[in-house]
Structure 1
Amino acid sequence: MNFHTRKWVKPEDLNPNGTLFGGSLLKWIDEEAAIYAMCQLDNKKVVTKYMSEINFVSSARQGDIIEMGIIATDFGTTSLTLFCEVRNKITRQSILTINKIVFVNIDENFNPVPHYKTEITYSQDKFKD
């Protein structure tokens, strides 16, 4: 799994305990996962269908740099299932894992449509000269 997206934990991202607010982290994850799904399915129209149990393993504090790793684990007819891990960039300590995030490929009328994808596509394979 590659960890590409990084976020710097700032004061506005904190909860009253002085640690990263879970809602902020989940927003970042949903956005990153949606972008990953769009790239894998070659479609800007995808929707989040399901997120499994969210396992908060440790906390992040102001000034920490976190990174998100996402990888496709299953390709359905109209869906794509992802795994996500968030970790501290410096210490590599895991902050959160989500075993299943499911996205559905949709058309302009918001109906599920087949995507015909069966395996992970890497950006270096998509943008060849």
Structure 2
Amino acid sequence: MKAKPCIDSLAVKISHVLPPDTNSHGTLFGGKLMAYIDDVAAIAAERHSRRPVVTASTDSVDFLHPVKEGDTICLEAFVTYTHHTSMEVFVKAVTENLITGDRKMCATAFLTLVALDKNNRPTPVPKVYPETEEEKWLHEGAKKRAEYRRQRRDDSKELAEKFGTDLPWKRGK
């Protein structure tokens, strides 16, 4: 497979923040923003791999600034690193007041998505290469983030084994 530059996977999503999207504080629901993040990341990963994808993990989504009703939210996503069947995708979200032009970075996130074959099994993806200084910086940090994800996944598996599927009031019976 021929390697592709990061920019080839760029996906952009822009939406108005409307009343049904907001909480009692008049700001965008965090879960709504997380859904937008997952959606735009999947588009970037599919654009890179030209395969269906599933989300394998979402690193901590850091909410940096509230998104107010009436503003817009613009999300940009692109593949920063690839492994055999997985892709790390960086997403940034910027809110804008269209009247004043005031823009603020409101969230950042990294997601890992896996490409699937026709049998819904993981399948190889093309390598990705950075071109800009920002892309190079993200690419260089990807192995460290991947190791952190592996450790976090191992911790999650341990938690799952410890707590199991029983309801709390049935444990120990």
TM-score band, normalised by the shorter chain?
0.7 to 0.9
In the TM superposition, residue 71 of structure 1 has moved relative to its aligned partner by 2.0
What percent of counterpart residues are identical? 30
Please tell me the residue identity of whatever aligns with 2:53: V
Please tell me the residue identity of whatever aligns with 2:105: S
| SS at 2:33 equivalent | helix
Structure-1 separation of matches of 2:36 and 2:60:
17
Alpha-carbon displacement from aligned partner over 1:41-100 (angstroms, at most 9, x marks no partner): 011x110000001100010111101100112110111011011110113423111111x2
Match of 2:105 among 84, 89, 94: 94
2:87 aligns with 80
RMSD (Å) for aligned C-alpha atoms: 1.7
Match of 2:53 among 8, 21, 46: 46
Residue segments in structure 2 that go unaligned for 5+ positions in a row? 1-6, 130-173
Alpha-carbon displacement from aligned partner over 1:20-51 (angstroms, at most 9, x marks no partner): 001111111111111111111011x1100000
Higher gyration radius (CA): 2
| SS at 2:78 equivalent | strand
Question: Structure 2 length as normaliser, TM-score?
Answer: 0.63
Q: Does residue 12 in structure 1 map to residue 20 in structure 2?
A: yes
Return the structure number with greater helix share: 2
Structure-1 separation of matches of 2:12 and 2:53:
21
| Residues 78, 113 of structure 1: 8 Å contact kept | yes
2:150 aligns with none
2:124 aligns with 114
2:134 aligns with none
Structure-1 separation of matches of 2:59 and 2:12:
22
Q: Which moved more, 1:46-55 or 1:25-34?
A: 25-34
| SS at 2:117 equivalent | coil
2:153 aligns with none
Please tell me the residue identity of whatever aligns with 1:109: N
Q: Between Structure 1 and Structure 2, how many residues are aligned?
A: 117
Residue segments in structure 1 that go unaligned for 5+ positions in a row? 121-129
| Residues 3, 67 of structure 1: 8 Å contact kept | no
Q: CA 1:35–1:110 in 2, change beyond 3 Å: closer, same or farther?
A: same
Structure-1 separation of matches of 2:104 and 2:35:
20
Q: Which moved more, 1:18-27 or 1:104-113?
A: 104-113
Return the structure number with greater strand share: 1
